[in-house]
Amino acid sequence: MVSFRTHVPFLLYLTGIFFLNFLSRIVLAPLMPAIESDLNIGHGEAGSLFLFISLGYFPGLLGSGYVSSRFTHRWTIILSSVAVGGSLLAVSLSHTLWWIRSALILLGLSAGLYLPSGIASLTDMVNSKDWGKAIAVHELAPILAFISAPLLAEGLMIWFSWRGVLAVLGGTAIFTGGAFACFGRGGAFLGETPSPRNLRALVTIPSFWIMVVLFSMGIGASLGVYTMLPLYLVAEEGLGRGWANTLVGLSRIAALGVIFLAGWATDRLGPRRALGGAFLATGMATMLLGLLHGVRILPALFLQPVFSSCFFPAAFAALSKIGPSQVRNVAVSLTIPVAFLLGGGAIPAGIGILGEHGLFSLGFTLVGIMLAGCIILLKYLKFQEDAIQGI
């Protein structure tokens, strides 16, 4: 049996691609005060920009299986990276709000192609007993993106406008996709299309729908909250844009170490118990973001991303266990679109709308309550191995 360490270089390569993929979808958050000023839009319209990314991400994930079934997971990953770069360049060159929205839909569509192929490539190579650790390595990408997005945005805006920042990231994504085409390995097998047979195998499983809800809230806790935090700190807490972005970026650093602990806990305790702890802790910390103000908000600001990062190793491990192995990438491509649309699109848009009515803090409090309530669903979450054992 090949050891887990043998696969680390491949995992790190995939993690780098996922990093740029994720960074492209969240970099608007630290740029949002500048975008609002430049385009003369309000909080609600600003929050809705993430909804347009979600509208593209939805069909991108759904269509990923069709692309990978014809061109392999490897070439789907390459196509995603290059197309993400082109979409970012398109956003940077757009000068009307509707052109920007159209380019953001294309950005979401391009980014959506990656995840099912990335997870399928990862879980195909690594032994199932090491999935928690492997996914933890892969999930370094969102955490590093959360940390670097505000710091990178502030650093690049010394020389560029917000449009220039997007252009730099777009060029980097195109280069990375080309480099993977030349030197990358793994994923050299065809994916499964969401055929009627595969769809029936998933949609008839109650645990599949439970995972849709859990992923929606997990993405809302991490991405949804994150995208509105800089604007919230500037508009409601009175911080300068640079200071707000610095705090948001620094608050994600501790999650780098915690995600490995989350991966270990998933392997030792099982994904169900690991998810329960993550939801309860994240829900409480998110509620405190809305209830505390001034300097008292700092503990919640730094704890919330730590707890929310613990969700993903357990969640992807759970998602990989609810159905047959041959529909694993289909499970990802069906679950994540709805979850991203709700958690990464509707939740920030909803927080922004509440912010327009002077209820910014209430938005975070409500999200926290819903997160804590998700532990009720875990009682009904069943895995395929449970059915085999007659549980």
Q: CA neighbours within 13 Å on the CB side: how many for 256? A: 11
Model confidence band, residue 2 (pLDDT cutoffs 50, 70, 90): low
370: nearest Cα among 166, 214, 237: 214
Average pLDDT (30-54) is 80
The token pair at 368 is 């926290």
Which residues have CB under 8 Å from 115's CB, separation 6+?
18, 21, 61, 64, 332, 333, 336
What are 371-382's pLDDT values in tens digits? 998 899 888 887
Q: What DSSP character marks residue 240? A: -
Task: Report percent pLDDT > 90 for the chain.
Answer: 19
Distance CA 341, CA 81 (A): 21
Range with the poorest average pLDDT among 262-266, 292-296, 366-370: 262-266
Nearest Cα neighbor of 167 from 159, 150, 98 is 159
| DSSP letter string, 249-318 | HHTTTTHHHHHHHHHHHHHHH-HHHHHHHHHHHHHHHHHHHHH--GGGGHHHHHHHHHHHHTHHHHHHHH
pLDDT in tens, 102-142: 999 999 999 988 988 888 778 777 766 676 677 778 878 88
Tens digit of pLDDT for each residue in 208-232?
888 889 999 999 998 888 888 888 8
**What whole-number distance in Å separates Cα of residue 105 and Cα of residue 60?**
10
Would you say residue 237 has pLDDT above 80?
Answer: yes
Q: Which of 217, 225, 208 is nearest to 373 (CA)?
A: 217
Of 94-103, 191-200, 351-360, which range is least confident?
191-200
Residue 378 is classified by DSSP as G
Is 29:148 a contact under the CB 8 Å cutoff? Answer: no
Domains of the chain: 4-388 (1.20.1250.20)
